[in-house]
Structure 1
Amino acid sequence: MQIEPYAPCHLDAVIRLSLRAWTPVFYSIQKAMNADVYQAFYPEHWRVSQQKAVKDACAAEDTNVWVASDAGSTVGFVVVKLHSEESMGEIYMVAVDPDYQGRGIGSALTEFALNWMKDAGMSIAMVETGGDPGHAPARHTYEKVGFELFPVARYFKKL
């Protein structure tokens, strides 16, 4: 497995793997969230929203993106944003193809991003994820590389 800078030729593979990787996550979110609120967040379908979010993140000028490749296939990606005024790097998105999960690729992408942030002069790293069961693998990955949980309460109500 190797990690290399993202190029536009990676986009279709990154979108495909992210939608596959996040299917159980969005199923978990849907079960955990009020149905009306979930529908308001994803009026067309979560896949439509996520495809646009991935495409936008990969094209944004304020992000840095890398892909993990194995035997010529794109198997994961990570998106990083720098918040220079706070000296903080943010892992904005990370996903690993379900066929390659459990092999340390998510941890390798996360460690790569952390090292890149440090080299860019950041003194703090941040990542956000859900507390629902679908996000348990993500939480495990972040805790494994040394992130510590800061409890946040976020409430939603359909208007």
Structure 2
Amino acid sequence: MNIRTYQPDDLEQMRRITIEGFDGTAIDQNVERNFGPLAGHDWRWRKARQVDEDCEVNPAGVFVMEEDGKVLGYITTRIDPGVGKGRIPNLAVDSTAQGRGIGRKLIDHAVAYCRGEGLAYVMIETMANNVVGQHLYPSCGFVEVGRQIHYALKV
């Protein structure tokens, strides 16, 4: 296993891992439960699109864990050097590779990347129903700093 910067050829595997991994915890899925598919696209399409956007905005800060050419997991980052803040918008591990410490290694790698960019802190968030994230992030040193409630209104 090794961690490397993502390549465009990784996107299909990353999208698949995303859709599989966020099923049951994606906010877009919750919106869809209330309002149905929006603009002709389901939550899976919208969630996968977020990964595409992460790769477009900060390709140097998107990392994949691979083994024998297969993407086992990935992590994306966004950085704001002006305020010294890094953010981890997306992290997902293939269901066949979970329990092997891949998420933790990807987080460590992303934090090291942010540190190398001279940032002062890194943020990550999770939904209340994401039990794995609520355990993993504090065990990696993240401290809860607030809670947020999401509301939606179909217009």
Give the TM-score taking structure 2 as reference length: 0.86
Whole-angstrom distance in 1 between the partners of 2:60 and 2:44: 21
Q: 1:54 to 1:109 in 2, by over 3 A?
A: same
Q: Name the CA distance, whole Å, in 2 between partners of 1:23 and 1:73.
A: 21
Residues 67 and 142 from structure 1, CA distance in 2 versus in 1: closer, same or farther, beyond 3 angstroms? same
Q: Secondary structure at the match of 1:139?
A: helix
Question: Which structure carries more relative contact order (alpha carbon 8 Å, separation 6+)?
Answer: 1
Contact 1:63 1:79 (8 Å CA) reproduced? no
AA partner of residue 4 (structure 2): E
Q: Does structure 1 residue 136 correspond to structure 2 residue 131?
A: yes
**What are the ranges of 5 or more consecutive residues in structure 1 without an aligned counterpart?**
none
C-alpha distance in 1 between matches for 2:6 and 2:54: 11
Q: Is the 8 A contact 2:61 2:110 kept in 1?
A: no
User: CA separation of 1:103/1:35 partners in 2, compared to 1, >3 Å: closer, same or farther?
Assistant: same
Q: Distance in 1 between matches of 2:40 and 2:134?
A: 27
Identical amino acids, percent of aligned pairs: 23
- 1:68 — aligned with what? 65
Length-normalised TM-score, structure 1: 0.84
**Aligned pairs, how many?**
153
In structure 2, the partner of 1:92 is 89
CA pair 155-78 structure 1, distance change in 2 beyond 3 A: closer
- Name the counterpart of 1:152: 147
Deviations 1:117-152 (A, max 9, x none): 1111111111111112xx111121111110011222
